Amino acid sequence: MRLRTRKSSVNRALKNGASVLALGAFAIGAQICPPGAAWAQDGASEGEEETGDTIVVTGIRRSIESATERKRTAEEVIDALTAVDIGALPDRSVAEALQRIPGIQLQRTNENRDPARLSSEGGGVFVRGLRWVRTETNGRDIFSASNGRSLSFEDVSADLLAGVDVYKNPSAEQIEGGIGGIVNLRTRKPFDQDGRLVAGTIDYNYADLLSKGFVSGSAIVSDRWETGAGELGFLFSASIADIGNRTDAIQLGRFELRDDGNLYPTGLGFRRIDWEQDRKAFSGAVQWAPNEDLLFTFEALYATASPFDVERAVLVNGASTGDLLPSDVVNGQFDDDGVLIAGEIPGASLTYDTRIGDRKSKTGDYSFNFRYAPGSRWTISGDFQYVDSSAEVLSMTAFTQLGVAPFATGARPTVTFDTDGDDPFISISDLALQADKSAYWWAAAMDHIQDNDARSYAGRLDLEYDLDTDGFLRSFRFGGRITDKRAITRQSGFNWSLLSQQFWGSGGGGPVFLDEPGGTDLAPAGPNPGLPDQVELFFFENFFRGDLATPGVGWFPKAELLTDTQHAFSFLESTLTSGWGWVPLTEEAYETLDPRGDNVSAGINDQREDTYAGYVVARFADEGDLFGLPFDGGVGVRVVHTKTTGTGRGSAGGLGEACATNPSDDCARAAAFIDAFNAEFGEYQEFTNSYTKALPSLNIRFELSDELQLRLAASRGMVRPSFSQIRAYENLSFAFEDNMFDPDAEFTGQAGAPQLKPTMSTNLDASLEWYFANGSLAFAAFYKDISDYVVIQRAPETFTFGGETFTFEVLRQTNAEEGTLKGFEVQYQQFYDFLPGPLSGLGVQANFTFIDNDGGANEALNPFEPAQEAGASDASLPIEGISRTSYNITGLYQKYGIEGRLAYNWRERYLLTTSAANINRPVFWEDYGQLDGSIFYSINEHAKIGVQATNILNARTFLQVGDETLSPRYSWTDTDRRIAVIARFKL
């Protein structure tokens, strides 16, 4: 519930000549927010309907004003989006809509370590520079099986949402777990509107680079009735959303200093990715009010997403097939920093690959809530929720290479390139050779699989006692919450291996060319007559929309070959002429795998988390007697106990090979240690951890005048470590020189960190908010003092097993660093009703965010990979994901039945990752701005048609690789402009 419904708010609205907005009541769990006061109006204009003495604002303006009123009357520091009409969030995805809120920055890739493959829809959401964001639906926890902590926003249909609230300094009664903030997704309920509602939307979304269109639709049916047993309401909504996207990219490798004193990229290449997603979501709610004191709400949300992408890429290396060297490049040109920007590579090594990515995810969220208010003092509410989520992932790649014969560099093409500026150029000579199927051989294959599940049970009980007095204390609210969560990730590493031949050799066999059935004496499957048909000649048509020269053509494995690993193996097995090579992974592999350099989650990570939380909040108010100003607020504390239980195992090894033939005392001591250690930790066993944290909070709001209010907030927040970070795992290794311990080498170890504590933050906020006729202006400053960052450390640890004691330098994640984050946000919005004629429909929304970080530490997603360890430990790098500045500016128009919106979003350069996959260097995302827009026309009160456009200016993405001292541009990416034709109806 709100702090209170202030009489001064109503008086202020009446004094300004405002009419009451029909905002509607949005239920959040057991809480129902009453409609707030209106903005001042001089009379009904377009976008408004006159009903007696009340003016009802409609359309985009009503959505904006409703969101503003939520911010104005909320107890906490929040910002909001509302969708009055179904499917009317301002953008096509939740993440893209969220980026319009001040303080929120969108990362346009789902995996920051994989910048080669940018996301077609916005991926990660950062609040005030922090990725530690907790997601909710209707005030309840929700998550995806991919990590068990947060929600993948691309899995959520924006069409089914009534709105989104972003809490930036939560109160003690809200669920813990988000230092950056809490994103609450609000779905619709039958008691949100009077009577029957039948509404829907259908759209055709065209991606211009992909040259393909997709049809999507959503619908909602809701009604409420008076029955002999009380009032009953029912709602059902559904969304079926298909979408597609294409990205074209030219990319270099990292830059290395060569003997001639210049920086050369380790390679260069180009790729095209075609991505499509089928997303379905269904939401239902039943509400029953037996009497005016009691309300029951049953809700269910079920969503599936099936993204599928096909990538075709060409990698160019020197004649040596390794990193580019000065001897590989002729006519080289360099910039002022000595960075190679143009030249020719005669006899280049060319590798072609087709990769498919196939993910199938499901999330179900089912809840029951009751709210009982007997009399005028007590309110009791209870909630039970069950969440079930799963995700299956397949990544499969096959590689071919061009060269007529291994090491015959004279028979390979010459690659000419120029990567200076915004329009890079790559050209491959000898088109006839590229189109010659007999010049290619089968080179390699790689697969990666995941099978993840997560589920959670949560129950809570809340009680509120209203003192029913005008004294300082107004009410008390207290309650508790219990959760039982389990998350199991089953993942492999990336299983790369040889097929018939690489440029560097084959281990004894010969190449299997694409026009051959394969099957030499070494190929276990024998000849396969269908093998030559598993490739296709692919043209990079309309590359970068024709702005860049088409780099060439090539023979690529067909995507259909790769959609099932066993199907792929039935053909590729006949190419294994080297006597060793690729064998596909199976689900049985999960049992045998442990964390490794290419995937910290390899194997099975089974985690259970139980939490027990209790809170108390006292709400207070004063009409001005204490400080001379009216104020209200709440002070409280939340105490939460967390217990984690995970399974893990360990291994010890490193016994010198010479020990088998020439045993020594060192060999015997190490063997005794290894045998005893592996006997105790070689099988999966449970590891537990627990901690208790107190999280106080204070929110206070001063009414400086009828239009001006000041908020102050302070709180303590926490974010638990990820399930991959607390995985129990230990690997110890001895160092031998022949059969003696190596005196010049350390005994080493790699270990998980099941004893990690949460990262903690002290949060301070101050917000000055001015709400005037038809608009608002707000300034908010924030400060976060963050402790217990998770960092990588190598430290000596002593172990005793088998009667032997040794010290190992163990790499382990731990809580160590501290840092501060501070900044401010400015936001302004207004409709200019005072302008004459058609101009009176104009409006604007604008916001600006500044963030400054000091200290802290970057996390390595995989501490077992040396490049990630080095990058995360580099104190000279900024914190990942933080742009110092970002802004939004949106022009609005609503009049004569027309609703228009033109929105530009911009964020400053930031560190994407301390160590990108394959490149193993820090990568920076350059300044990026994108223009989106929409225009709708109301045919009548029941129907509306319109057009939405995304990325109108065809913004190109540029990435840099290096460090803060020197980071040359290495990646250029072009993606679709999307245009959607939309029709909405409401009965």
Domain for residue 526, yes or no? no
Mean pLDDT to the nearest integer, 16-30: 28
Q: Report which secondary-structure segment, H or E, holds 431.
A: helix 431-434
The reported pLDDT for the residue numbered 409 is 52
CA of residue 736 relative to chain centroid, distance: 44
At 734, phi and psi to the nearest 5?
-85, 160
Alpha carbons 592 and 599: distance in angstroms, whole number: 14
Q: Comparing 119 with 862, which gets the higher pLDDT?
A: 862
- CA dihedral 407→412→414→420, nearest 10 degrees, is -70
How does residue 123 score in pLDDT terms, banded at 50, 70 and 90? low
Mean pLDDT to the nearest integer, 650-654: 92
Amino acid identity for residue 858 in this structure: N
Domain for residue 378, yes or no? yes
Average pLDDT of the chain, as a whole number: 87
CB 915 within 8 A of CB 866: no
Please give the angle made by the CA atoms of 23, 27 and 29, to the nearest 5 degrees. 165
Alpha carbons 809 and 732: distance in angstroms, whole number: 9
- Quick check: 297 pLDDT over 80? yes
Alpha carbons 406 and 803: distance in angstroms, whole number: 55
Mean pLDDT to the nearest integer, 479-486: 96
List the beta bridge partners of residue 397: 355, 446
The reported pLDDT for the residue numbered 120 is 59
- Quick check: 295 pLDDT over 50? yes
Please give the angle made by the CA atoms of 927, 929 and 933, to the nearest 5 degrees. 175
How does residue 945 score in pLDDT terms, banded at 50, 70 and 90? very high
The reported pLDDT for the residue numbered 1 is 29
Per-residue b or e along 367-380, where b marks 16 or more CB atoms closer than 10 Å to that residue's CB: bbbbbbbeeeeebb
Alpha carbons 453 and 103: distance in angstroms, whole number: 32
The reported pLDDT for the residue numbered 52 is 39
The reported pLDDT for the residue numbered 965 is 87
| Digit-coded pLDDT (tens) for 489-500 | 999 989 999 998
- Quick check: 224 pLDDT over 90? yes
Alpha carbons 127 and 168: distance in angstroms, whole number: 8
Domain for residue 846, yes or no? yes
3-state class (DSSP) for residue 543? helix
Q: How many C-beta atoms surround the C-beta of residue 853 within 10 A?
A: 18
| Digit-coded pLDDT (tens) for 835-848 | 999 999 999 999 99
Q: Where are the beta strands (DSSP E) in 860-968?
A: 885-895, 898-907, 910-913, 923-925, 928-940, 943-950, 957-961
- Report the percentage of the chain scoring pLDDT > 70: 91
The reported pLDDT for the residue numbered 938 is 94
Of 260-269, 404-413, 930-939, least confident by mean pLDDT is 404-413
At 98, phi and psi to the nearest 5?
-65, -30
CB 27 within 8 A of CB 140: no
Q: Comparing 456 with 470, which gets the higher pLDDT?
A: 456
How does residue 42 score in pLDDT terms, banded at 50, 70 and 90? very low
The reported pLDDT for the residue numbered 547 is 85
- Quick check: 12 pLDDT over 50? no
Q: Which residues 6+ apart lie within 8 Å of 882 measured at CB?
A: 126, 129, 821, 851, 853, 910, 911
Radius of gyration of the chain (CA): 31
- Quick check: 239 pLDDT over 80? yes
Q: Which two tokens stand for residue 511?
A: 């190449």
Alpha carbons 19 and 11: distance in angstroms, whole number: 11
Listed residue (572, 589, 590) closest to 581, CA to CA: 572
CA of residue 833 relative to chain centroid, distance: 39
Q: Which residues 6+ apart lie within 8 Å of 700 measured at CB?
A: 631, 632, 633, 711, 712, 713
Of 90-99, 557-566, 672-681, least confident by mean pLDDT is 90-99
Domain for residue 576, yes or no? no
Mean pLDDT to the nearest integer, 209-226: 94
| Digit-coded pLDDT (tens) for 307-358 | 999 999 999 988 766 788 999 999 999 999 999 999 999 988 899 999 999 9
Domain for residue 112, yes or no? yes
- Quick check: 256 pLDDT over 90? yes
Mean pLDDT to the nearest integer, 290-307: 94
| Digit-coded pLDDT (tens) for 717-763 | 999 999 988 988 899 999 999 999 999 999 999 998 999 999 999 99
Which structural domain, as residue segments, surrounds residue 602?
Answer: 7-495+592-986
The reported pLDDT for the residue numbered 298 is 97
Mean pLDDT to the nearest integer, 920-937: 94
Q: How many C-beta atoms surround the C-beta of residue 800 within 10 A?
A: 11
HSE, side-chain direction, 13 A CA sphere, residue 680: 12
- CA dihedral 37→40→42→48, nearest 10 degrees, is -50
Strands 378-402 and 349-372: antiparallel
Domain for residue 525, yes or no? no
The reported pLDDT for the residue numbered 971 is 95
Domain for residue 568, yes or no? no
| Digit-coded pLDDT (tens) for 66-118 | 889 989 998 888 998 888 766 676 677 788 888 889 999 888 876 777 887 77
- Quick check: 31 pLDDT over 60? no
- The residue with tokens 């032997």 is 804
CB 643 within 8 A of CB 765: no
Listed residue (241, 195, 202, 205) closest to 219, CA to CA: 202
Listed residue (508, 152, 135) closest to 305, CA to CA: 152
Mean pLDDT to the nearest integer, 960-987: 92
Q: How far is CA 149 from CA 661, 833, 848, in A?
A: 51, 45, 29
How does residue 508 score in pLDDT terms, banded at 50, 70 and 90? low
| Digit-coded pLDDT (tens) for 786-803 | 999 999 889 999 999 999
- The residue with tokens 């079926």 is 240
Alpha carbons 889 and 987: distance in angstroms, whole number: 34
Q: How many domains does the chain have?
A: 1
CB 954 within 8 A of CB 928: no
Domain for residue 575, yes or no? no
Q: Report the CATH number that the domain containing residue 138 is assigned in CATH.
A: 2.40.170.20
- Quick check: 410 pLDDT over 80? no
